[in-house]
Structure 1
Amino acid sequence: MEYDPLVHEEFDTAHAVFADLRARCPVARSEAFGGFWIATRYADIRAMLDDPLEYTTTVRNVVPGASATGRRPPLHLDPPEHTPYRRAIDRALGPARVAATEPVIREHVARLLDGYVAKGGGDFVEDFGSPLPALLFADWFQLAPEQTELLWRTAQAFVKAWEAFDVAAVSRTSDVLYDLARALIAERRDHPLDPSSDPVSSLLDARDDADHSLPDEMLVGCVRQILVVGLVAPPVFLGSVAVHLARDPALQEFLRGNPQHDVAAVEEFLRLYTPYRGFARTSRSGTALGGRDIRPGEPIALAYASANRDEAVFADPDRFILNRPNVRDHLAFGRGPHRCAGMSMARAEFRIALRGLLDRTRTIELAGTVRMSGMPEVGPVYVPLRVTAA
């Protein structure tokens, strides 16, 4: 086995492994999770993302994969079948909707960080990185308070089940999210909201190319997919940023005094700490990739986290370089028809979170051992910090 995703990892382990694979075995084989290939070079991953006709998401779209439930568009479908769902999601994430969300993000960031800093720190993921996207999604979906609490706690349990590779627990928590999706669809059917701001109303209003409404079971799967995807990656990413800042006091100080660099800093953090190594594709007809012969239907994990540190694309790739000339070439949000629909909202969330943390603190230090996630993510799920107030 050329790649073992089950070995214990420290904060920098995965990136050292990826660098070694890029140099000597850019498309590696693993027998974990039923067997899969993992592509580590930027050029190979980008080429697959740019060719959705050959590299499909309909067979396997993530490694490991444990779904025993129905299909969840748009991720589980290829164009053109996925397009009505994606169009509906995009409509509810337009520039005006994202702009209207920013004051809400600031309120949540302020409340969470004020409490966190007042007690001198703690687990940054549990106390800030995890609740923030849940609260943001609650606003986007216009959830009731009890639905917000259910979403956050269930999403936390879902992530922990994935970390433990507990298939039964994944299934149980997924069922809760499906029930929430069904309840939201029923509510919006009875009381529709503005489709330009509410994702469920937008999906109910959508039509396919034959002017038919979207099938009920696919609508439920789509809402279930959206509920999870935006709650898994942000805590891991924000945890990585916190670790980096704690290890680099000079960068902390520079960014505190130079908020005009916040946008550029977020992009470089996204490149350095892309939280995915397990999004997957399968070749329809079989392919030769990185000197390996891959049969049709065999899962290929796309290690975005490795691609974004590929020395063939990014000079001195393990360093944080502010205003890196080609930083926007990173693949943190994917590419092609399945590029992250929520990337504009995510960028706003991360920018406001970074500024909030820097403005409220004078120092940020690690206060214990970081604990890392397992595949399909890469990054910390436990970040103990000690902070002093500004």
Structure 2
Amino acid sequence: MADSHLSPLTSLEGRDPYGAYEDYRESGPVIWDESMQAWLVASYDLCRFVMEREDLFPPKNPNNPTFVKVRGGPRNVVIRQGDEHRATHILLLRLLSPKVSNQYREKYIREVVGGVIERFVNKGHAELGWDFAHALVIRSFLAVCGLDWRDDALAQKVYDLHMPIVAWIEGGAKGEGEAAMAAADEIRDFIMPIIEARKEGAGDDLISRMWREGPEIIRDFTAEDVYANVRELFLAGTDTTAIAIANAVYRLVKDADTRQALIEGGPDKIATFVEEVLRLYGAVQFRFRSARTDQELGGRHIRAGDTVIVINAAANRDPARFACPAHLDLNRQRARQHLAFNAGPRTCVGAALARVELIEAVTQILERTRNLRFDPAGEPPAFGNLLLRSHEPLNVLFDQA
């Protein structure tokens, strides 16, 4: 049954995965992976099919109380199913629509990005993974939620409390998850009073708007809906967006010609650059689904209950879909057709916000620095990890613009 001539998915941790992904696609496009005890899907068309057909391939979430608790409770958009999921998904898409996300860019994110850059721009050197990408995403989310993004202690606290949860989930959500549970309790104690204080829905921050618009869409809307989904937006959106920004910065540092083309081409080229970085490197490499019934997929017999892993990062370099798929093309047509934000009923609700954060980050780095280059004395970047991948560390030197 195993496709034993191919590299196991787990063996790709810390290695460039794209050669193996190409092997999967050419051998399959659906193959059995013994290391994951799962079917791997590597072609664009089949990855999109699996994600769009939730009736056939529902999400495979760990079925335990710890997983539900650390994600904010049963009213979380990731946990909910059927009509309840659809209603919550619609609400979050409305709250983070392109129009609203651009308003957040103008009101909060531009200032946050500039404030983060001010902390290192006079030094002529920085580590742009933590000093820039992660810092601006955490602080942007605080700002959007109506909290003080300049408060260093608050930003550090929020980050530190989420780390045990992220580590437990990325480790497969195994065991009791004591550290993750303790962190979830502390987060709840911290954020619930803020949520209750915004119940009148009078502000334009995300929490107030969720109170104001949620009851129109979600039946029996309560503070638990606000809490669960604010928690999910932070948990799912900060690390992934920071990773995408780090990958964009890596490409800017690596490729002086692209930097110059973006400076000359302006906002339209920067927007395409962001889409190409998302396609080429993504953030979440693959996603888990479960087969609801016995069925055929890509010429293989999938049994009910089998795990199916859609490798969106492989799909995004499928030559049947993208010409010169390994090439960053600032003139690529329909550049948004990648699967970095998933597809179907589980499409990322924070995609528009992530895009404006990426665009603002790239724009201001180009405006505020010149001669951006890797620091020969610093540790070089590596495309590490397995599920969430970014080029880090990003030790750079630069001149001020």
TM bucket, shorter chain: 0.7 to 0.9
Match of 1:47 in 2: 49
Mind listing any 5+ residue stretches in structure 1 that lack a counterpart? none
CA contact (8 A) 1:272 1:308 kept: yes
Any idea what SS the aligned residue of 1:82 has? helix
- 1:203 positional shift: 4.8
1:240 paired residue number: 247
Deviation at residue 80 of structure 1 after TM alignment: 1.4
Greater Cα shift, 92-101 or 326-335 = 92-101
The whole-number CA distance in structure 1 between the counterparts of 2:132 and 2:200 is 30
The answer on 1:295 being equivalent to 2:325 is no
Which amino acid in the other structure matches residue 334 of structure 1? N
- Equivalent position of 1:384 in the other structure: 395
Partner of 1:280: 288
Q: Percent identity?
A: 22
Tell me how far apart the structure 2 counterparts of residues 55 and 292 of structure 1 sit (CA, whole Å): 15
- The alignment partner of 2:398 has SS state of strand
Question: 1:361-372 counterparts in 2 under 5 A?
Answer: 361-367=369-375, 368-372=379-383
TM-superposed deviation, 1:372: 3.6
Pair 1:81-2:84 in alignment: yes
The aligned residue for residue 136 of structure 2 is: 132
1:374 aligns with 2:378: no
Residues 94, 196 of structure 1: 8 Å contact kept: no
Deviations 1:233-260 (A, max 9, x none): 1121112112222221111122123213
Kindly state the Cα deviation for residue 333 of structure 1 after the two structures are TM-superposed.
Answer: 1.1
1:5 aligns with 2:10: yes
Question: 2:328 maps to what in 1?
Answer: 320
Task: Tell me, in whole angstroms, the C-alpha distance in 2 between the residues paired with 1:167 and 1:61.
Answer: 9
Query: Aligned partner of 1:60: which letter?
Result: N
2:112 paired with 1:111: no
Distance 2:55 2:287 in 1: 17
Secondary structure of 1:192's match?
coil
Other-structure match for 1:67? 67
1:194 pairs with one of 190, 201, 204: 201
How much has 1:328 moved relative to structure 2? 2.0
CA distance in 2, matches of 1:162, 1:326: 34
Segments of structure 2 that go 5 or more residues without pairing to the other structure are none
Post-superposition offset of 1:218: 6.0
Partner SS state of residue 111, structure 2: helix
Q: Deviations over 1:35-94 (max 9, x none)?
A: 22221110111111221211112x3389xxx93745463122333120232233233224
Q: TM-score, normalised by structure 2?
A: 0.84
CA distance in 2, matches of 1:219, 1:36: 35
* Aligned length in residues: 382
Question: 281-290 vs 341-350, which deviates more?
Answer: 281-290
Q: Does 1:26 align with 2:29?
A: yes
Aligned partner of 2:54: which letter?
P
Letter in 2 for 1:102: R
SS in structure 1 opposite 2:308? strand
**Cα distance per residue 1:364-386 (max 9 Å; x no partner):** 22233224442321323422222
Question: If the length of structure 1 is used for normalisation, what is the TM-score?
Answer: 0.86
| In structure 2, distance between residues paired with 1:170 and 1:191 | 31
Which deviates further from its counterpart, 332-341 or 295-304?
295-304
Distance 1:52 1:182, change over 3 A: farther
CA contact (8 A) 1:141 1:200 kept: yes
How far apart are residue 108 of structure 1 and its match? 1.4
Displacement of 1:342 in angstroms is 1.3
Secondary structure class of the residue paired with 1:43? helix
Counterpart residue type for residue 58 of structure 2: T
Q: 1:27 to 1:233 in 2, by over 3 A?
A: same
Partner of 2:18: 15
Which residue number corresponds to residue 161 of structure 2?
Answer: 154
**1:149–1:8: structure 2 CA closer, same or farther, 3 Å change rule?**
closer
Kept in 1, the 8 Å contact 2:40–2:311? The answer is yes
